[in-house]
């Protein structure tokens, strides 16, 4: 019982902060909220993976490794072990390439580390890196917010190419020789990557919003775009000419697309899963939104009912994890629950 109280505490119920940072491995979705990292499976089981020493600023799941970081702590979860690294300089971004850990710091320094945390190389960059994708052992493409995109050679320590976008580089995805970039108020940019890693802008899409994040499913050739007040889905079978398939009216700050599913996170403490089996007609198959401060809970066998204040109540099933079942929206501040019989609360 004490364990259940811990799992539905104010921290676990996401009242510490917004839901924004997100990433995925296959059909498993991870997102950060407050100081917590939450894992949500395809069957909608939600589990708290761990907590950091501060707010979760970013997540990455490259090469099957979960990376999560706060301002100064970096958490690494591999198949065999978990590791935590601490830095004295602000962490901007982190990712994996094969067995090498990349960590970008706010002092314009990019560190390359082995699995034990030993620094094996470093690179001084033009500006702090807030997003990056290693292309091979020597080339890395980076985003530097308002300073644009930079391509670096890790061996020679030189800048191969750069492009100063009109907006703010939040992230980008690379598929084949094309790069799709979320550029804030400037919308969606599409670049052709040359043989020498030069960047040529071939199209800019006005999304009528602020593009926070993009995600690609390279199998279905679909591109998901978090567009602030909408979630957009594009067909990129013709990679240089995206075709808008559907517009989902939901607040979206982060997204992850895989097979027939798009996960979306919102600044307003909400996570959604959209079924895109028919991409022209997506439907919401699951959502989870933080309540107010949890007031009271009631358990009946494997069912757990939560009174969540002004946002109503929620029902969960309990096993080795807690699985969300249903939400009961009320117009009053729900503070207490009592079981009348097997079917009435």
Question: What is the per-residue pLDDT across 52-63, written as a single tens digit (0 to 9) for each?
Answer: 888 889 999 988
E strand map for 169-307? 171-175, 178-182, 188-193, 199-205, 213-217, 222-226, 231-235, 243-248, 254-258, 261-266, 270-275, 283-289, 296-300, 303-307
Which 3 state secondary structure label does DSSP give 78?
coil
Q: Does position 269 have pLDDT exceeding 70, yes or no?
A: no
Look-up of token digits 């400037």: 186
Q: How is the beta sheet containing 36-40 ordered, strand by strand?
A: 19-25, 28-33, 36-40, 45-51, 322-328, 313-318, 303-307, 296-300
Reported as a single tens digit per residue, the pLDDT across 121-176 is: 999 999 999 999 999 999 999 999 999 999 999 999 999 999 999 999 999 999 99
H or E segment at 68? strand 66-69
Least confident interval from 64-78, 136-150, 314-328? 314-328
CB contact at 8 A, 91 and 101: no
Identify whether the C-beta of residue 98 lies closer than 8 Å to the C-beta of residue 110.
no
Render pLDDT for 207-245 as a digit per residue (tens, 0 to 9).
Answer: 999 999 999 999 999 999 999 999 999 999 999 999 999
Structure confidence at residue 32 (pLDDT): 81
Report, as an integer, the average pLDDT of 282-287.
Answer: 87
The residues pairing with 231 across neighbouring beta strands, listed in sequence order, are 226, 248
Residue 1: its pLDDT value, please?
Answer: 41
105: its two tokens: 């710091």
Percent of the chain scored above 90 by pLDDT? 58
Q: Residue 154: its pLDDT value, please?
A: 96
pLDDT at 23: 83
Q: Quote the pLDDT of residue 6.
A: 37
- Distances from the Cα of 69 to the Cα of 9, 73, 283, angstroms: 22, 6, 32
Q: How far apart are CA 210 and CA 245, in angstroms?
A: 19
| pTM score of the predicted model | 0.80
Per-residue model confidence (pLDDT) at position 16: 38
Higher-confidence position of 154 and 46: 154
Q: Check residue 201 and give its pLDDT.
A: 97
């Amino acid at each position: 019982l004490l364990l259940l109280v811990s799992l539905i505490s104010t921290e676990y119920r996401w009242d510490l902060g917004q839901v924004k940072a997100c990433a995925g491995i296959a059909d498993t979705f991870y997102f950060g909220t407050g100081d917590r990292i939450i894992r949500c499976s395809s069957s909608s089981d939600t589990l708290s993976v761990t907590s950091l020493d501060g707010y979760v600023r970013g997540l990455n799941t490259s090469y099957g490794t979960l990376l999560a970081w706060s301002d100064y702590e970096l958490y690494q979860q591999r198949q065999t072990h978990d590791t935590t690294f601490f830095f004295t300089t602000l962490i901007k971004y982190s990712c994996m390439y094969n067995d090498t850990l990349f960590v970008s710091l706010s002092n314009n320094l990019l560190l390359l580390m082995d699995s034990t945390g030993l620094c094996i190389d470093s690179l001084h960059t033009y500006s702090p890196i807030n997003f990056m994708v290693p292309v091979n052992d020597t080339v890395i493409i980076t985003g530097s917010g308002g300073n644009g995109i930079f391509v670096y050679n890790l061996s020679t320590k030189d800048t191969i190419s750069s492009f100063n976008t009109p907006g703010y580089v939040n992230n980008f995805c690379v598929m084949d020789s094309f790069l799709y970039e979320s550029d804030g108020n400037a919308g969606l940019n599409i670049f052709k990557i040359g043989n020498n890693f030069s960047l040529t802008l071939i199209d800019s899409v006005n999304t009528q919003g602020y593009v926070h994040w993009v995600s690609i499913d390279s199998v279905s050739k679909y591109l998901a775009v978090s567009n602030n007040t909408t979630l957009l889905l594009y067909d990129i079978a013709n990679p240089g000419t995206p075709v808008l398939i559907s517009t989902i009216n939901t607040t979206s700050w982060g997204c992850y697309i895989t097979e027939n599913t798009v996960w979306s996170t919102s600044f307003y403490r909400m996570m959604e899963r959209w079924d895109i089996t028919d991409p022209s007609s997506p439907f919401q198959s699951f959502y989870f939104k933080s309540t107010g401060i949890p007031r009271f809970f009631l358990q009946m066998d494997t069912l757990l009912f939560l009174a969540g204040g002004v946002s109503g109540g929620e029902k969960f099933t309990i096993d080795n994890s807690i699985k969300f079942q249903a939400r009961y929206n009320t117009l009053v501040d729900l503070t207490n629950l009592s079981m009348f019989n097997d079917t009435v609360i």
